[in-house]
Structure 1
Amino acid sequence: MKIKDFMIKDVISVREDTSVKDLLEILVKHNIGGVPVVSEENTLLGVISDGDVIRYLQPKGRTVYDMFTVVLVSEKEDLTHKLKYSMEHSVKKMMRQKDIYTVSPDEKFEEALRIFSKCHFKKIPVVDANNIVVGVVSRGDIIRFISNKLIATMDEEN
């Protein structure tokens, strides 16, 4: 089975100049955890996930543990201020541009499985030979494929 046989073809993506606020609205509206960042020509420029946003918004010098164990008014105000200030920033400031794994539509299913098992990504962009985004594969897609196709095939054989 090839990637093109089960990839999501209707890709939700953003541009580099998309604001953090607009990105968050897209993620919530579509109940997704990340999207490819593309040019006007739909060329892959990077990826951004909900985890990238959380890391970007974390107050400097504090861990999540510190934020909950030391509750000071100034810390709450600092986080609120950073949230308000950051909402109009573009995703370009926080998107990942390095160490991005992609797959091609003609690669085998096992390549996506290998990447997901090695890396902790939620989605992998599917790109053509010109680095144009033509789809995405998510961990959920892999699990659904295994469940629907492979297990069903095994049941038929028994």
Structure 2
Amino acid sequence: MDGYKGVRKLEVKDFMIRDVITVKKETTIRELLKVLAHHRIGGVPVVDAEGKLLGMISDGDVIRFLQPKARTVYDFYITIVVNEQEDFNEKLVHSLDFPVEKIMKRRELYTVRPEDDFENALRILVKHHFKKLPVVNQAGRVVGVISRGDIMRQITDKLLNS
């Protein structure tokens, strides 16, 4: 009850997606790309057999892995389409069978808990330019994810339906 009488403080669980799509560290980049495309998402938590967070992997991580020299989308396009199509195709075919463990983000992983203050999650997303933030329980198991897109949809739905 902060600020407004009778108004409950917003918590992460009010905005998080509970049906979390995850992958294991052994998942290949090929399988990851299929998951991302099928679910129309940009990244997922990487978990162990018990559902504990090991890392995060995004479409951006895959792009940076495949084309580390590219600095912008334009550079990436020019490198692939104009300059090095054959080299890229060879690297792509070879790299698709690598496990996501090779390129997943392990350091500086930020998480929130379902009962955490929603504003804290927003601060983390904004400060670090994250698109997704895993939500973990006391045991470290992924129980949700909160993303900028989901937050915007929730806010829009609440504003338009009030």
Q: Please give the root-mean-square deviation of Cα atoms over the aligned residues, in Å.
A: 2.0
Aligned residue for 2:60, secondary structure, equals: helix
- Per-residue CA deviations over 1:105-145 (Å, capped at 9, x if unaligned) read 00111111111211111110000111110000010121123
1:23 aligns with 2:32: yes
Q: Which amino acid aligns with 2:95?
A: S
1:65 aligns with 2:75: yes
Aligned residue for 2:107, secondary structure, equals: coil
Rounded to whole Å, the distance in 2 between the matches of 1:120 and 1:113 is 10
Deviation at 1:148, TM superposition (A): 2.9
Unaligned 5+ runs, structure 2: 1-9
Q: Which amino acid aligns with 1:71?
A: V
Q: Could you tell me the TM-score, scaled by structure 2's length?
A: 0.85
Rounded to whole Å, the distance in 2 between the matches of 1:117 and 1:61 is 26
Of 19-28 and 116-125, more deviation after overlay is shown by 116-125
Structure 1 pair 148/15, CA: closer, same or farther in 2 (3 Å)? Answer: same
Structure 1 pair 135/62, CA: closer, same or farther in 2 (3 Å)? Answer: closer
Q: Could you tell me the TM-score, scaled by structure 1's length?
A: 0.87
Rounded to whole Å, the distance in 1 between the matches of 2:70 and 2:125 is 30
Rounded to whole Å, the distance in 1 between the matches of 2:127 and 2:69 is 30
Matches within 5 A, 1:5-154: 5-58=14-67, 61=69, 63=71, 65=75, 68=78, 71-72=82-83, 75-149=84-158, 151=159
Rounded to whole Å, the distance in 2 between the matches of 1:18 and 1:112 is 28
Rounded to whole Å, the distance in 2 between the matches of 1:138 and 1:29 is 18
Deviation at 1:46, TM superposition (A): 0.1
Percent identity between matched residues is 51
Structure 1 pair 112/91, CA: closer, same or farther in 2 (3 Å)? Answer: same
